[in-house]
Amino acid sequence: MTPRKRLIIFTTLFCITIVIFSSSMILGKHLSLEAKVQATTINKSTYRIHKTKLMNIEVKGNSLNTFFQTKSAARVIYLTFDDGPTEYTEGILKILHTHQIKSTFFMLNENMIKRPEIVENVVADGHAIGCHGVTHRVSNFYKTMTSPREEMDTCAKTLESVSGKSSKIVRVPFGSFPNLTSAQKIELDKADYVMWDWNVDSNDWKIDNPKTITQSVLTQVQKLLKKDKVPVILFHDKEITAKVLPQIIEELKDLGYEFLPINENDIPVQFQIHS
């Protein structure tokens, strides 16, 4: 084969290779573009279908959506009352009933025995009841490792016999800090008691000035609001409490709070226990 023929064959093969390669590139780009167009079209179509479904759901379920938005936006707060029932508990119940809100009462054993009808009224009104012990004395309640549990056992039996309701919610006298030990707390836990302290102290047990109590409660709640924490307010079944309660409730309502009774499944607010 002459050099001329070799050159012709080589040139022909080279040209064929270029044509095939160019055709492949064009075809590949076309297929890629077509796939992209199809994918975009499918996505837009799916979005339109999904959007239409959402619009239909929103229109049909408008009331339901509004309900859930309202519930999720609500700020929860717990009002709690210690040492009852007393001669002032009925007045507190009337205030709560007027404002259509629920709360939690931590009651003492002897007071429930003295005023069983009030205990029944608390339950009938839909409030939660917990035990506050028997003696309400530091020297007695925290005397031994098992004394807190034993007092709560006695209190719980009285509560159930008087009201017909059982409760595992408890609040130890004067709060768990600094008197309750970790060993005593373990005993309460083993008996399935759910212990609650508080993060807002109304100081109604030592202050007799309505304005001071009201301002103190609202200031403490505002601080917790900034930290996005649920307030648990400590009140007592006292005359001064009944006086300040209506204004405090109105102010808390204006802040958007929803008043709930404590449930045994709620995560409790507790002080740090000493070992």
Element (H, E) at 168: none
- DSSP reduced 3-state for 250: helix
Token code pair at residue 69: 């938005």
As a three-state string, the secondary structure of 62-75 is HHHHHHHHHHHHCE
| HSE-CB of 197 using CA atoms within 13 angstroms | 14
Token code pair at residue 217: 């409660």
Across 184-211, b (16+ Cβ under 10 Å) vs e yields bbebbeebebbbbbbbbbbbbeeeeebe
Catalytic residue selected from 82, 197, 237, 266: 82
Catalytic residue selected from 83, 127, 236, 266: 236
- DSSP reduced 3-state for 112: helix
CB 262 within 8 A of CB 130: yes
Active site residue 236: yes
Catalytic residue IDs: 82, 236
